[in-house]
């Protein structure tokens, strides 16, 4: 039996159902009303949409270019979700986000199951609450990207590890089904994001075996034949894509994408070690303070099996991604369930008053400073909605203010409870604050930030003023993937010269989206036809991907066909 012997180690199915329902409802708001988040999400959406259009489920493409970054698993899942709801012919955002919603909901439930197995039922519930309330999880669950599904595959593999660990402690034989579950999850992770899944899944049992000087847990996973299960999942597609791409997929995905991130910062994301620790206070908020508060107890109980197992899950993965050059917050997301379990498990042991904090003065001072920083982050998140609406849209939103007014007192209450060392109550108060915060942001604030949603407004402008039914649109100044997806993939992302040439050659059915800063160069490239160019409307706003303010106009050339169309 893992952990202490207090009580049962399972959660009733009714409790698990309630946890699943709570996570599903918390992750649901904003899914339909929020446009695609540039840049990664619409790339996945567009590639999946093209899969459905071309029925080519092997060679993943974004427009006419191969997308050889990772295997096809996520595109299959998104295509299946879109087809399941019968919207494969519409460029509607929400169906592509279904896999992330379901995967993150399942991840929360598995976290509760594993937390209960390691520390008891209350810890399981607490771990689920800390995970579902975290900022990064709230964001990733709403995006049609890989990370939620990858997290689920990691958790399924870790669930199999916990079962094997429980069998070991009870002196039972681990059934082959547990090994099949582990290696099957590894295979699914490989189909989602390649070798990334191997870091938490293989490092955990191997590092634990090295720490304990005992590889019995690893042997219980039947590695002699288990790897064949993972290979059976991923190898067929690898063989076919290798033939179709003439080996180019492996050169790009492994040589350029995976190893390139290790050696240098890709897409301006190169940052020094320590980045993930710095952003943790925000990314895991509100659980970040409570995770920091249990660190002294983690050190004192590092030799107990549940703590040791979770450290062997967290530390190797964290070290690897602090060491590589490219850094993004979601790279350490696979450690968040383990951190939630460790935090909730140790807090649950203390009861109402927390008495297991730092015993030296400098430790208490550091934790106090961290608590103040945590409180400031909470307050900043609470007021972010009204402030953004006022600064970007010049709107005073009463609903946003009311929601902020509900979040701020809860953050203050949590700070008071932290001061009184009532950390369990503080965790609950801050989790409720986080739930209110996300509902407010994704239902009231984010959909109203029209100035940052350039792509939907540009598509509306094109649809309202395109000169003919089959207009070829050139986007000179705005090349974000959200525009490509929302316009149905029918947009050419090229420069001023190419757009001007196309308009001269096909004036009746060609249009160009040009920012005010490139208008002069565009008119010069049109030459004698510049006098025929007409602006059909302008969309102004902020491209949040690069921070540039833009005023993009739709230009067409006067022609008999265009005039008759209007």
pLDDT in tens, 545-565: 999 999 999 999 986 544 444
DSSP-derived secondary structure for 380-399: HHHHHHHHHHHHHH----HH
- pLDDT grade, residue 4 (50/70/90)? very low
DSSP conformation class of 523: H
What structural domains and CATH numbers belong to the chain? 13-350 (no CATH), 361-449 (no CATH), 453-565 (3.40.190)
- The pLDDT tens digits of the residues spanning 274-299 come to 999 999 999 999 999 999 999 999 99
By C-alpha distance, which of 565, 540, 566 is closest to 553? 540
Q: What is the pLDDT of residue 254?
A: 77
Question: Given pLDDT bands bounded at 50, 70 and 90, which one contains residue 270?
Answer: low
Separation CA 181–CA 158 (nearest Å): 10
Residue 469's SS3 state is coil
Kindly indicate the confidence band of residue 3, based on its pLDDT and cuts at 50, 70 and 90.
Answer: very low
Q: Region 254-259: what's the mean pLDDT?
A: 67
Per-residue pLDDT at 268 exceeds 50: no
Give the model's pLDDT for residue 262. Answer: 62
Q: Taking the CA atoms of the chain, what radius of gyration do you get in angstroms?
A: 26
The tens digit of pLDDT for each residue in 404-429 reads 999 999 999 999 999 999 999 999 99
> Distance (Å, rounded) from C-alpha 524 to C-alpha 526?
5
Q: Give the residue with greater pLDDT, 394 vs 561.
A: 394
Each residue's pLDDT tens digit, 58-86: 999 999 999 999 999 999 999 999 999 99
Q: Give the helix ranges, DSSP H, for 506-559.
A: 519-526
Q: Dump pLDDT digits (tens) for 118-131.
A: 999 999 999 999 99
Non-local (6+) Cβ contacts of 8 within 8 A are 120, 121
Name the pLDDT band for 326 (thresholds 50, 70, 90).
Answer: confident
State the burial class of residue 86 (Cβ atoms within 10 Å of its Cβ: 0-12, 13-18, 19+): exposed
How far apart CA 117 and CA 110 sit, in angstroms, is 11
Q: For residue range 472-526, list pLDDT tens digits in order.
A: 999 999 999 999 999 999 999 999 999 999 999 999 999 999 999 999 999 999 9
152 has a pLDDT exceeding 70: yes
pLDDT at 193: 94
Give the contacts of 401 (CB within 8 A, at least 6 positions apart). Answer: 386
Distance in angstroms (rounded) separating the CA atoms of residues 139 and 284: 11
Mean pLDDT confidence for 18-33: 96
What's the pLDDT at 565? 44
pTM of the predicted protein model: 0.94
Whether residue 404 contacts residue 382, with contact meaning beta carbons closer than 8 Å, is answered with yes
User: Is pLDDT of 12 > 70?
Assistant: yes
Contact indicator for 147, 136 with CB cutoff of 8 Å: no
Q: Would you give the end-to-end CA distance of the chain in angstroms? A: 76
Name the band, by pLDDT with cuts 50, 70 and 90, for residue 351.
Answer: confident
Q: What is the pLDDT of residue 560?
A: 52
Going by pLDDT thresholds of 50, 70 and 90, the confidence category of residue 255 is low
| Spatial separation of the C-alpha atoms in residues 381 and 438, rounded to whole Å | 10
Residue 358 pLDDT exceeds 90: no
């Amino acid at each position: 039996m893992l952990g202490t012997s207090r009580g049962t180690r399972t959660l009733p199915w009714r409790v698990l159902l309630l946890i699943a329902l709570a996570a599903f409802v918390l992750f649901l708001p904003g899914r339909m009303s929020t446009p695609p988040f540039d840049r990664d999400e619409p790339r996945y959406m567009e590639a999946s949409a093209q899969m459905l259009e071309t029925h080519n489920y092997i060679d993943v493409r974004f427009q006419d270019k191969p997308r050889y970054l990772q295997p096809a698993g996520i595109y299959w899942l998104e295509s299946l979700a879109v087809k399941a709801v019968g919207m494969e012919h519409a460029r509607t955002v929400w169906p592509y986000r279904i896999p992330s919603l379901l995967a993150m909901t399942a991840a929360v439930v598995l976290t509760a199951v594993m937390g209960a197995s390691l520390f008891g039922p209350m810890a399981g519930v607490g771990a689920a609450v800390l995970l579902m309330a975290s900022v990064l999880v709230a964001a990733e669950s709403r995006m049609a990207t890989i990370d939620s599904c990858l997290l689920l595959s990691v958790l399924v593999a870790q669930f199999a590890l916990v079962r094997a660990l429980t069998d070991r402690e009870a002196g039972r034989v681990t059934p082959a089904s547990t090994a099949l579950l582990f290696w099957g999850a590894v295979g699914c992770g490989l189909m989602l994001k390649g070798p990334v899944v191997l870091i938490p899944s293989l490092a955990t049992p191997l590092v634990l075996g090295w720490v304990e000087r005992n590889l019995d847990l690893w042997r219980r996973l039947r590695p002699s034949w288990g790897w064949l299960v993972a290979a059976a999942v991923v190898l067929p597609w690898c063989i076919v894509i290798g033939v179709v791409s003439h080996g180019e997929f492996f050169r790009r995905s492994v040589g350029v994408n995976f190893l390139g991130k290790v050696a240098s910062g890709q897409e301006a994301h190169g940052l020094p070690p320590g980045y993930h620790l710095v952003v943790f206070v925000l990314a895991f908020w509100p659980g970040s303070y409570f995770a920091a508060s249990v660190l002294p107890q983690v050190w004192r109980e590092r030799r107990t099996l549940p703590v040791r197992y979770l450290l062997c899950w967290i530390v190797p993965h964290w070290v690897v991604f602090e060491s590589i050059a490219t850094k993004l917050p979601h790279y350490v997301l696979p450690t968040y369930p383990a951190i939630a379990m460790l935090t909730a498990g140790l807090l649950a042991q203390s009861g109402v008053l927390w008495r297991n904090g730092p015993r030296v003065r400098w430790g208490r001072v550091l934790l106090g400073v961290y608590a103040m920083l945590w409180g400031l982050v909470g307050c900043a998140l609470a007021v972010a909605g009204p402030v953004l609406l006022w600064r970007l849209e010049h709107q005073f939103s009463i609903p946003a203010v009311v929601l902020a007014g509900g979040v701020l007192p809860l953050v203050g209450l949590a700070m008071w409870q932290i001061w009184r060392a009532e950390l369990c109550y503080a965790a609950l108060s801050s989790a409720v604050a986080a739930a209110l915060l996300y509902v407010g942001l994704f239902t009231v604030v984010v959909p109203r930030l029209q100035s940052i949603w350039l792509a939907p407004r540009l598509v509306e402008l094109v649809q309202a003023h395109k000169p003919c039914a089959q207009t070829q649109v050139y986007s000179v100044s705005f090349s974000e993937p959200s525009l490509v997806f929302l316009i149905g993939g029918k947009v050419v992302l090229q420069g001023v010269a190419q757009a001007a040439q196309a308009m001269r050659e096909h004036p009746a059915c060609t249009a160009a989206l040009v920012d005010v800063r490139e208008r002069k160069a565009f008119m010069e490239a049109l030459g004698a036809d510049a006098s025929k160019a007409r602006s059909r409307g302008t969309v102004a706003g902020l491209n949040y991907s690069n921070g540039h303010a833009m005023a993009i106009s739709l230009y067409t050339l006067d022609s008999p066909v265009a005039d008759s169309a209007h």
